[in-house]
Amino acid sequence: MSSKSVIFILISFLMLAMPVQATEQTELIYAKRHMLHSKILNEDREVEVYLPPSYHHSGPGHDYPVIVVIGGESFFRTVSGIVEHLSDVSRMPESIVVGLPNNTGKGLQMLPKIVGDDGKPFIPDSKADEYIQFYQQELFPHLESTYRVAKFRTLIGWSNQSAFALHAFVKASELFQATIAIAPFLKHGYKVGDTFVDAIAKPYSKTPNRKAWLYVGMSQSDVESNPQGKVSLQNLQQQLSPFTEKHLTLKTEVLAGEHHFSMTLPAVMSAFDMIYPREKFIAVNFSREVIGEPGETVANIDAIFNKLSADYGFKTYPLEHKLGFICRRLIRQKRFDDAKAVIKRWREIYPKSPEYQTYLQQTKKAN
């Protein structure tokens, strides 16, 4: 090896070893945080809001379902990441995630007045009903006036907060369409001799046509330390099974190999799979059949999302990059009229998207 080659290699290693100074720094912001004063609770509450990637590209009539995470300081980021991933791969609709951190130090007050065997409430100063009013009269009106939110709400509670999630399921049936209770305590109820299972099941018999999604999951370590927990899950499944044939979608499970703190991620994934099952959303991935015969593509896309909209009660939409996928395939097949029709629908759904213009230019150029 020549001396010049050795010098060149040494210089190259030195350059690689030198620290690289960034010329520009960009902050990555995944959520917004602001304060909301509650007259009902007489305190300021932090509200964290994650907006899906397409939010700022979509039109004024494009609303998004809302997922509320109680105790947002614990796993708001986790839920936001799961929602972004699952929606990006077309396993659920894009959604707005709202986290409510316990910034006041009064988190236990949101638990309902569950009583022990002695008839005394575990939380004597419970404000569970006031929290329901806070959601009804302050939080959701604030979200509706600030963001484009659909009338489909999911509530997620973990551990102690799951008791409030189930309390809302019982006492305010219109407030949330889907409820996810992770690691709940079901042994006791609102009065001596009753359990939370009874509190959930008995009122449901009065409104059997109520359309709802309910997930209740426990970890293996929780049921090992408290075998009654598994019995409670079985009782809940048994008592609510008459209603699952119609409008109630129910899933109860014990997550094998998980403990009280590690179960959050697999439980949320499992719950979303219950609410948005794979078989319903497989067509959203746009297989070759969606393109169909000439002139059919847009009608086929609309049929998929009209069906989902009818099932869930809010308008659902195709993702931007999925529409781009269809456009690329149509352009390769020289089906330019169909490509233009897809781009037109794309522009209607995402009028502020910079990408559909690119595909429009490609279509004109290829044509």
Residue 354 pLDDT class (50, 70, 90 cuts): confident
Looking at the DSSP bridge assignments, the partners of residue 248 are: 212
Question: Which domains does the chain carry?
Answer: 32-276 (3.40.50.1820), 282-366 (no CATH)
Q: Model-level pTM?
A: 0.90
Does 331 score more than 70 pLDDT? Answer: yes
State the pLDDT at residue 361.
76
Chain mean pLDDT for the chain: 89
Contact (CB, 8 A) for 57 and 320: yes
- Does 133 have pLDDT greater than 80? yes
- Give the CA distances from residue 77 to residues 44, 68, 98, in Å, rounded to whole numbers and listed in that order: 21, 12, 10
Render pLDDT for 144-170 as a digit per residue (tens, 0 to 9): 999 999 999 999 999 989 999 999 999
Find the mean pLDDT for residues 108-136.
92
Per cent of the chain over pLDDT 70 is 91
* Nearest CA among 185, 186, 183 for reference residue 261: 183
Statement: residue 21 has pLDDT above 70: no
Distance CA 74, CA 50 (A): 15
| Predicted confidence (pLDDT) per residue in 80-104, tens digit | 999 999 999 999 999 999 999 988 8
